[in-house]
Amino acid sequence: MASSKNVVELVAVSRANAQAAQDTIGEILRTAGGADVTGDQAEALRAATVALELEAIDIYTAFEARMQHHFKRGPFSRKLQALLIESGKADLADRIYQYYLAVNVLKHGKGDSYRALVKDPSPLVVLRPAPDAALSEVEAEAEGADRPAGLVDVTDPGFFAGLTDAILQAAAFLKKR
């Protein structure tokens, strides 16, 4: 039976997976040359973007699962944030918290996490506007048809690197405790 991977190994695999999706996105956008992406290219762009979203969810979930044992019970990310602040690592605490919120938005859509990110005075993640609640489902879908995926722009060049850097730093911090 193979041993399970540690956080560093999981992040390395996740970064490789994310890079493949980012390369696909970059190639599609280069090929389009600034024109609207349609048809098969639009579907490929959406698929690569969704793959990035899922990779972000998976790596953060794996990070939580591997590091949860450092805390008794309760919400891992909030306990980690409090511990980091208490230890003088407020910058890392803020980054972890914002990525936690971003992953929640990827998983659950518009809600408390989305509103918290919108209100953040120094956001690390790029948010897309949520469809107007007054629109019908068909209108909302049509309005968002030109967008590749969800409310968090995972295609932003710094998103995945920032997420995984914060995870690695937080994991190293917890290991030293």
Q: Is position 46 within any domain?
A: yes
Q: Which two tokens stand for residue 47?
A: 């698929």
pLDDT of residue 150: 84
Mean pLDDT of 39-60: 95
3-class state of residue 45 by DSSP: helix
The percentage of the chain sitting over the pLDDT mark of 90, rounded to a whole number, equals: 74
pLDDT of residue 28: 94
Contacts of 161 (CB under 8 A, 6+ apart): 15
The residue with greater pLDDT, 23 or 137, is: 23
Q: Which domain holds residue 59?
A: 7-176
Distance CA 152, CA 102 (A): 7
pLDDT at 145 over 50: no
The residue with greater pLDDT, 128 or 146, is: 128
Per-residue pLDDT band for 132 (boundaries 50, 70, 90) equals: low
> Do 10 and 61 meet the contact criterion of CB atoms below 8 Å apart?
no
pLDDT of residue 144: 44
> Do 40 and 48 meet the contact criterion of CB atoms below 8 Å apart?
no
Mean pLDDT of 98-118: 94
pLDDT of residue 70: 94
- Which of the 8 DSSP states describes residue 127? B
Domain count, the chain: 1
Distance CA 76, CA 58 (A): 16
Per-residue pLDDT band for 80 (boundaries 50, 70, 90) equals: very high
Mean pLDDT of 109-116: 93
Mean pLDDT of 68-75: 89
Q: Is position 115 within any domain?
A: yes
Backbone angles phi, psi at 131, to 5 degrees: -60, 145
Q: Is position 151 within any domain?
A: yes
Q: Is position 1 within any domain?
A: no
Distance CA 137, CA 134 (A): 9
3-class state of residue 152 by DSSP: strand
Q: What mean pLDDT, rounded, does the chain reach?
A: 89
The residue with greater pLDDT, 101 or 143, is: 101
Q: Is position 105 within any domain?
A: yes
Q: Is position 2 within any domain?
A: no
* Most confident of the ranges 14-18, 28-32, 130-134: 14-18
Q: Is position 93 within any domain?
A: yes
pLDDT of residue 56: 97
